[in-house]
Amino acid sequence: MEKITIPVQALTPENFAPFGDIIETGLGEVKSINWDMTERHHALAKADIIGEAPQVLINIFRSKPWEFPLTVKMVERHPLGSQAFMPLNGRDYLVVVAEDKHDAPQVPVAFLARGHQGVNYHRNIWHHPLLALDEISDFLVVDRGGAGNNLEEYYFPQQSFIISGRNI
């Protein structure tokens, strides 16, 4: 089996745009609300759901930390809805995504998301399951519920991808 090392890069709106949105203050329009007592950082990401009787769900995921080197053997995607993750503990985490070609993921790309950055994967974007670092971490997750199969998994048959550490 071929092993390919993938580097970890900084998470920026420009390099993450093909995969989704970054949820972070300072990106997008800011509105003053509630008698100027609150700043609303408006429309940083949009939940995108389709299918029969779809529902937008708000969840909390609690993730155990992963150890390095990390072997990326599989990715998943959600054809009927976007999926957003926002860290609740202020801890960094990894984001691993892959472009699609003929219904199969290509070589994954890894990003270091800082503890103040959330991500919103667009519908049908291949991504690794949640990758907490260092300690157990909680994430606010917005995704789709309802009828229909909204999960596809892909196991890489000929290669595995290695992330040696979190450094960028």
Domains, the chain, ordered by start: 2-163 (2.60.120.480)
pLDDT for 28 equals: 87
- When pLDDT is cut at 50, 70 and 90, the band that residue 47 belongs to is very high
Rounded to whole angstroms, the Cα distance separating 14 from 17 reads 5
Structure pTM? 0.92
Chain Cα centroid distance, residue 108: 13
Write down the mean pLDDT value for the chain: 94
pLDDT digit string, tens, across residues 53-88: 999 999 999 999 999 999 999 999 999 999 999 999
27 class by beta-carbon count within 10 Å (0-12 exposed, 13-18 middle, 19+ buried): middle
